[in-house]
A and B are shown apart, each in its own frame.
Chain A
């Protein structure tokens, strides 16, 4: 019982912080971390809102540390291609 209260209260606090963050993020932050979001329509900003509430620590970290574009994915080919490039340079 006490434990269930804890879990739900913690989740609600996380979501409340996420909500506050998401407002700032969808209107200001998103364009900073992803150039393709600059000048995007209001509907796009609303669509990513719930995800920003859920994943706010990740987005805050990217915004805070000054990333200006999305990361590039890694897979076996990309990793070994990068190491070849490094070896050459």
Chain B
């Protein structure tokens, strides 16, 4: 939104979210080191911390990756998505602590620059059993850093949402690297196979949720098979099919369009929120404004413009109602163009 940036726009919900996270992390690390020192009485505190931070980051990454598809499948969970960036930054800090401790523990003693040492201390790239798993962790950490460093809304605005999202899609590359880092690392160390088994379960959960959500979405992105009339307007649905203050989502003009019904009127706007490209059509009309389900940005339904002082604008579409059917012109109007709502 257009205003002066703050460091973090704190509110009650974010404070609760972040305190829950911080407590969860502290409890996890406490339990890990506590139980670890009983089960492995010979392990040093450094080793326990390295493993504790690493597995904590791994667990957090699984939760982060599951939140997205979970919220698409169960909209009630949306509050989890609301502050996911803080979750991501904390996960990065855990991974950073793990990487930094490992660098100090295993690579800081010799003459070599520790970073060079990570790359060259094991060069058996031809062996699966002894594969140098640490460089994989280093590259993953670099990706997590880029994501954490660009998590502020400033970056979203200055990179623009589509590019920012593509950058943050690298999380899947990082995930793959980390899985390889852990699996190959476990192969080499004496650690408990429990970790490998848990990781297997985690991967199945993450992959399964993604496939399920993608399968549910598939239908939405099929080009609309609705009939178009002579003037190019496309018949999208009957007025009764749209719930009051909600939208029907259809794909027109190469993107999704949200057709809202409210207050005896119907308006159509691009489904893509200008903030993080959240799905506007899954939001509701609140106080007369289309309200994005992800972080609450608001747009006037007839013009697609955020109410002043905000400056976000999304494209709008001409609509009309004929014999109880909603017809939408698939040609978008320039963002923020007011369109007379169709009345019913």
Interface string of B173-203 (1 = CB under 8 A from A): 0000000000000000000000000000000
User: Nearest chain B CB to A50's CB is how many angstroms away?
Assistant: 4
- A-B CB proximity, top 9 nearest: A76-B254, A43-B7, A73-B160, A51-B149, A4-B119, A81-B332, A50-B149, A76-B255, A77-B332
Q: List 8 A-B contacts (CB under 8 A).
A: A8-B113, A51-B155, A53-B149, A73-B162, A73-B274, A77-B253, A77-B272, A78-B335
* Bound: A34/B162 CA distance, A: 18
B2 touches A (CB below 8 Å): yes
Interface size on A, residues (CB 8 A): 42
Choose one: A38, A72, A84; the contact of B333 (CB below 8 Å).
A84
* Bound: A23/B117 CA distance, A: 30
B146 touches A (CB below 8 Å): yes
User: Nearest chain A CB to B161's CB is how many angstroms away?
Assistant: 5
Interface residues of A in 31-79 (CB under 8 A from B): 33-41, 43-44, 46-48, 50-51, 53-55, 59, 62, 70-78
User: Nearest chain A CB to B321's CB is how many angstroms away?
Assistant: 22
| Contact between B157 and A70, CB atoms less than 8 A apart | yes
With A40-B4, A41-B6, A54-B145 known as contacts, the answer to whether A80 contacts B119 (CB < 8 A) is no
Closest to B270 in A: A77
* Bound: A43/B333 CA distance, A: 39
Choose one: A38, A47, A80; the contact of B4 (CB below 8 Å).
A38
Interface residues of B in 255-299 (CB under 8 A from A): 255, 257, 270, 272, 274, 277
Determine the chain A residues whose CB is within 8 A of the CB of B154 once the complex forms.
30, 34, 36-37, 44, 48
| Contact between B253 and A80, CB atoms less than 8 A apart | yes
A24 touches B (CB below 8 Å): no
A7 touches B (CB below 8 Å): yes
Interface residues of B in 138-164 (CB under 8 A from A): 145-146, 148-150, 152, 154-155, 157-158, 160-163
Interface residues of B in 118-150 (CB under 8 A from A): 119-120, 145-146, 148-150
With A8-B116, A38-B4, A77-B315 known as contacts, the answer to whether A51 contacts B255 (CB < 8 A) is no
Determine the chain A residues whose CB is within 8 A of the CB of B253 once the complex forms.
76-77, 80
Determine the chain B residues whose CB is within 8 A of the CB of A82 once the complex forms.
334
B31 touches A (CB below 8 Å): no
* A contact patch SS: helix
* Bound: A74/B335 CA distance, A: 11
With A36-B157, A55-B150, A77-B253 known as contacts, the answer to whether A84 contacts B332 (CB < 8 A) is yes
With A37-B154, A75-B272 known as contacts, the answer to whether A54 contacts B146 (CB < 8 A) is yes
Choose one: B119, B150, B162, B272; the contact of A7 (CB below 8 Å).
B119
User: Nearest chain B CB to A13's CB is how many angstroms away?
Assistant: 13
User: Nearest chain A CB to B342's CB is how many angstroms away?
Assistant: 19
B215 touches A (CB below 8 Å): no
B115 touches A (CB below 8 Å): yes
Closest to A62 in B: B158
Choose one: A1, A7, A36, A41; the contact of B2 (CB below 8 Å).
A36
B3 touches A (CB below 8 Å): yes
User: Nearest chain B CB to A42's CB is how many angstroms away?
Assistant: 8
With A4-B120, A36-B157, A84-B333 known as contacts, the answer to whether A74 contacts B162 (CB < 8 A) is yes
User: Nearest chain A CB to B53's CB is how many angstroms away?
Assistant: 19
Closest to A71 in B: B160
User: Nearest chain A CB to B259's CB is how many angstroms away?
Assistant: 14
Determine the chain B residues whose CB is within 8 A of the CB of A80 once the complex forms.
253-254, 331-332
* Bound: A68/B50 CA distance, A: 45
| Contact between B149 and A40, CB atoms less than 8 A apart | no
Determine the chain B residues whose CB is within 8 A of the CB of A44 once the complex forms.
5-7, 152, 154
| Contact between A51 and B272, CB atoms less than 8 A apart | no
* Bound: A71/B314 CA distance, A: 14
With A40-B6, A75-B255 known as contacts, the answer to whether A5 contacts B116 (CB < 8 A) is yes
